[in-house]
Amino acid sequence: MKASRFILTALLSTLLSTGAMAADVVKIAITGPFSGGSAPMGLSMRDGAKLAISQINQSGGINVGGTKMKIELIERDDEGKNDRGALVAQEISAMGDISAVIGTVNTGVAVMGDKYYVEKGIVKIITPAAGSASMTQWSKVGTKDLPIFRFAAHDGIQAQMVVEQAIRLGLRKVAILHDATNYGVSGRDDLIEQIKKQGGKLKVVAIEKFAIGDKDMTGQLIKAKVSGAQAILIWGIGPELAAVASGKEKLGFKVPMIGGWTLSMSNFIDTAGAAGNGALMPQTFIEDESIQRARPFIQAYHKAYGVAKIPSPVSAAQGYDATMLLAEAIHEAGSTKPALIKASLENLKTTVKGAIADWKKPWSKWDPSNVETHEAFRRTNTVMGKVKNGRVVLANPSEKGVLEGKKTK
Amino acid sequence: MNAELLALIQMAVGGGLMGMAYALVAYGFQLTYAAGKAVNFGQGELVMLGAFIGLSLAGIGLPYWAAVPGAMVAGAALGWFVERAAVRLALQQRNEGWILLTIIVGLFGVSAAENIWGREDKPFPVPWPDGALEFFGISVTWPELAIAAGALGMMALVELAKRYTMPGIAVQAVSADPDSAELCGIRSKSAISLSWAVSGAAAAFAGTIIAPVTTVGPTMAAALTLKAFSVAVVAGLDSGFGLVLAGIALGSAENLSGFLLGSGWREAPGLILLILALALRPQGIFGKKIIRKV
- Using 50, 70 and 90 to split pLDDT, how confident is the model at B291? low
Residues of A in contact with B123 (CB under 8 A): 242, 270-271, 273
pLDDT of B125: 86
Residues of A in contact with B3 (CB under 8 A): 226
pLDDT, one tens digit per residue, over B10-24 is 999 999 999 999 999
Q: Do A226 and B4 touch (CB under 8 A)?
A: yes
Stretch among B65-69, B242-246, B263-267 having the lowest mean pLDDT: B263-267
CA distance B116 to chain A (A): 13
Q: Do A35 and B118 touch (CB under 8 A)?
A: yes
| 8-state DSSP, A174 | E
Give yes or no for a contact between A342 and A121, defined as CB atoms under 8 angstroms apart: yes
pLDDT of A21: 47
- For residue B11, give the nearest of A211, A223, A265, A312 by alpha carbon: A223
Bridge-partner residues for A210, per DSSP? A179
Task: Spell B64-74 as b/e; 16+ CB within 10 A means b.
Answer: eeebbbbbbeb
Q: List A residues 218-277 in contact with B (Cβ-Cβ < 8 A).
A: 218-220, 222-223, 226, 239, 242, 246, 249-252, 267, 270-271, 273-275
pLDDT of A213: 82
CA distances from B237 to B16, B33, B35 (A): 20, 7, 11
Q: Which residues are CB-contacts of B106 (< 8 A; sequence separation ≥ 6)?
A: B40, B41, B42, B43, B44, B45, B46, B225
Write the DSSP string, A80-113.
Answer: T-HHHHHHHHHHHHHHS---EEEE---HHHHHHH
pLDDT of A164: 93
Query: Chain A residue with minimal CA distance to B222?
Result: A213
**Does the ipTM exceed 0.90?**
no
pLDDT of A24: 83
Instruction: State yes or no: pLDDT of B138 exceeds 70.
Output: yes
Q: Structure pTM?
A: 0.80
pLDDT, one tens digit per residue, over B83-130 is 988 888 888 888 888 889 999 999 999 999 988 988 778 888 888 887
Query: Chain B residue with minimal CA distance to A228?
Result: B3
pLDDT of B118: 82
* Rounded CA Rg of chain B: 19
Instruction: State yes or no: pLDDT of B149 exceeds 80.
Output: yes
Q: Do A226 and B7 touch (CB under 8 A)?
A: yes
pLDDT of A20: 43
Query: Chain B residue with minimal CA distance to A43?
Result: B120
Mean pLDDT by 10 residues, chain A (409 residues): 58 49 80 88 95 94 90 93 93 92 92 92 92 88 91 92 93 94 90 92 92 87 91 92 92 92 90 90 92 92 94 94 95 92 93 91 91 90 91 88 65
- Using 50, 70 and 90 to split pLDDT, how confident is the model at B281? confident
Interface with chain A: mutation pick from B139, B145, B210, B267, highest number of A CBs within 10 Å = B139
How many angstroms separate the CA atoms of B134 and B144, rounded? 13
How many angstroms separate the CA atoms of A386 and A399, rounded? 12
**Which of A210, A211, A215 is the closest to B214 by Cβ?**
A215
pLDDT of B1: 59
Residues of B in contact with A274 (CB under 8 A): 130
